[in-house]
Amino acid sequence: MIKHLSASSIGMFQRCQKQWMFRYMEGIKSPPNVAMAKGTGVHKSAELNYLNVIEGKDPLSVDEVQQNASEAFTEATEDIEVWEQNKGEALDQTVTAAEKYHNVYGTTVKPIAAEQWHEITHPDWIYKVVGIIDLETELEIPDIKVTGKKKPASEVEKSLAGGIYRKMVPGKEFIFHNVILGKNAIRTETIKADFISGNDDKIDGYITAMQFSIAQSMNTGVFAPAAADSWGCNSRFCGYYNRCEHGGK
Ligand code: SF4
C-alpha cells in the first residue's frame, strides 16, 4: 500500500499504469540507463556545491565538481545492464556537463536550500504529495534538467512537477536550469514562463482526479497499458518491457 505520491509517480501513472503497477505495487525498480546516470552525475555535483555554499563556504573548484560528477556517474552505472553509449564517452560528457553547469550557475546562484524534502496535503486528496526540490533561491525554484534538446517555455508551464513545487514553496518562480547534451556541444539554458492564471486550481483538480484513478486501480487491480501509439512503450524507454505482457514478454 502506498503512503504518498510524488510528481514523478503521478507522471508515471499518467504515462503507463502498468509501469506504475510494476514500480509501486510490486516494488520493482526500473534498471538504470546511461541517460539517468548522466543526470545523476550533474545533479549530485551541483547539489554538493550548493550545500557547500549554503554552509557559507566558497563554491567548489572545477576539479572538485568534476570529481563529484565522475564519482556519482560511476556509482549510478554500477547496475547498468545495457550500455547504449560507450562508457568513457558518457563519463566525459557528464563531467563536461557538470563543469558547464557549475560555470554558469554553480558560481553565481545564491542558494538558500538544496535537495530539501517537502510534503503537501489537500482536503480532497487521499494521499499527501511529497517531493525533493533541487534548489531554492530567494525568488526562484530552479529545476536542474539534463536533456538532449532545447525545450520550449511551454514545458515549464505544463510541468506537473513545477505546479506541485510551486504549491510546496509558494510565491516563487519555477524555472528550468537546462544542460543540453547536443551532438557537437554541451550548453546551458534558463527557461522561464508566465504561468497562466488559474493554473494552481487546475493542478489541485488534476492531482485530485489522479489520486482517485490511482486508488481505483489499486482497489480493482486493473492497470491500463500505455496507449498503442505511445512513444515510450518500447525496449529503449520502458525498463519493464521484458516483463510486461504488452511489451516483449
Ligand atoms: S511495455 Fe508498454 S505497457 Fe508495458 S509497462 Fe512498458 S510502457 Fe507500459
> Each residue of 80-122: pLDDT tens digit?
888 888 999 999 999 999 999 999 999 999 999 999 999 999 9
How confident is the model at residue 58, as a pLDDT? 96
Q: Give the closest residue to 150 by CA, choosing from 186, 185, 184, 180.
A: 180
Residue listed under C-alpha cell 538544496 = 114
**What letter does residue 229 receive in the DSSP assignment?**
T
Does residue 162 carry a pLDDT above 80? yes
Residue bearing the CA closest to ligand 1, atom 7: 233
Q: What share of the chain is helix, strand, coil (3-state, %, to 5)?
A: 45, 15, 35
Query: DSSP 3-state assignment of 174?
Result: strand
Q: Is the CB of 12 under 6 A from ligand 1?
A: no
pLDDT of the residue at 194: 63
Residue 198 has pLDDT above 60, yes or no: no
- pLDDT attached to residue 126: 94
CA-244 nearest atom, ligand 1: 4
The C-alpha cell that represents 169 in the structure block: 514553496
Determine contact, residues 2/24, Cβ cutoff 8 Å.
yes
Q: Give the Å distance between the CA of 242 and the centre of ligand 1.
A: 9
Closest CA to 122 of 17, 242, 5, 248: 5
Instruction: Give the pLDDT score at 106.
Output: 97
CB-ligand 1 contact for 232 (6 Å cutoff): yes
Q: Span 126-130, mean pLDDT?
A: 96
Q: Name every residue whose Cβ is closer than 8 Å to that of residue 199 and which is 6 or more positions away in sequence.
A: 157, 163
Average pLDDT over residues 149-168: 84
Q: What is the grid cell recorded at 191?
A: 527557461
What pLDDT sits at residue 176?
A: 92
Q: Residue 199 — very low, low, confident or very high, per pLDDT cuts 50/70/90?
A: low
Residue 195, pLDDT above cutoff 80: no
Q: How many residues does the chain have?
A: 249
Q: Which three cell numbers stand for residue 174?
A: 519555477
Domains of the chain: 4-202 (3.90.320.10)
In degrees and rounded to multiples of 5, residue 147 shows phi and psi of: -140, 165
Q: Is the CB of 141 under 6 A from ligand 1?
A: no
pLDDT tens string 28-80: 998 888 999 999 999 999 999 999 999 999 999 999 999 999 999 999 999 88
